[in-house]
Amino acid sequence: MDLQKIYATRFIEEELPTKNKIWKVLCTKFFSQFVPTTSTVVDIGAGYCEFINNITCHKKIAIDLNPDVKKFANPNVKVINESCMAMNSLADESVDIVFMSNFLEHLLNKQQVFETLSEAKRIIKSGGKLLILQPNIRFIANNYWDFFDHHTPLSDRSLVEVLESLDMTIVKCVPRFLPYTTKSQLPKGAFFVKLYLLMPWIWFLFGKQAFIVAEK
Integer angstrom CA distances of residue 40 from 37, 78, 90, 123, 163: 9, 11, 11, 11, 21
- Record the pTM: 0.90
Does the pLDDT at position 188 exceed 70?
Answer: no
Strands (E) in the chain, as ranges, are: 40-44, 59-63, 77-80, 95-101, 124-135, 169-174, 209-215
pLDDT category at 135 given cuts 50, 70, 90 is very high
Give the mean model confidence (pLDDT) for residues 170-185. 82
d(CA 216, CA 34): 14
Rounded to an integer, the average pLDDT of 131-143 is 91
CATH code that applies to domain 20-215: 3.40.50.150
Q: Map out the domains of the chain as residue ranges.
A: 20-215
Residue 97 CA to residue 60 CA, distance in Å, equals 10
